[in-house]
Amino acid sequence: MSVLTLLLFALLREPAPEAPMAAHQVAERYMYAFTRGDVTALKGFYNAESLYEDPHAGVSLRGPEEILKHHQARFPFAERQQIIVRRKMDRGDLVVFFYEIRVRAKAEAFEPAKQKLHFIIPKVAVLRIKDGIVSHHVDQTDLRSFDQQMKQYGVQLKEK
């Protein structure tokens, strides 16, 4: 066999190394898993140094175990939720998503209990992507909007 033939066989057997994904591509895949609540898929986006913060909820978590536990417990009053991304902006390793969570709430989570409570909660996610990992996720929630919607319904969250 010629050297050229051997080289060709070697190239065909060895898969070409994949080019690393751009930050916005990683962020889009992450948000896709995030919006589906796919904890298994989300795990691959974190490492031990990953940081998740939700300043309005007073949450600051590090590492996949803590972060995923928080994601699983999001909105305990929700019977059903849907996340809709409205807009995305990116610059280098920084990606920002403007999104909203539409929640159908459990009536028993509120005082006085009412049927079919629906909320739209505006949010902003600021992601820093490094080497294909979400190194920092800051989630901002418009709690004023949520409070206004509760006032319109004439309810408040029950104390735990």
CA distance 25 to 132: 9
Select from 32, 37, 27, 138 the least CA-distant residue to 81. 37
CA distance 12 to 63: 39
CA distance 155 to 143: 15
**Class of CATH domain 20-157:** alpha beta
Taking only the tens of pLDDT, the chain with its 160 residues reads 566 565 555 556 655 556 678 999 999 999 988 887 888 999 999 999 999 999 988 899 999 999 999 888 776 777 888 889 999 999 999 999 999 989 888 888 888 877 778 999 999 999 999 999 999 999 998 889 989 999 998 988 887 6
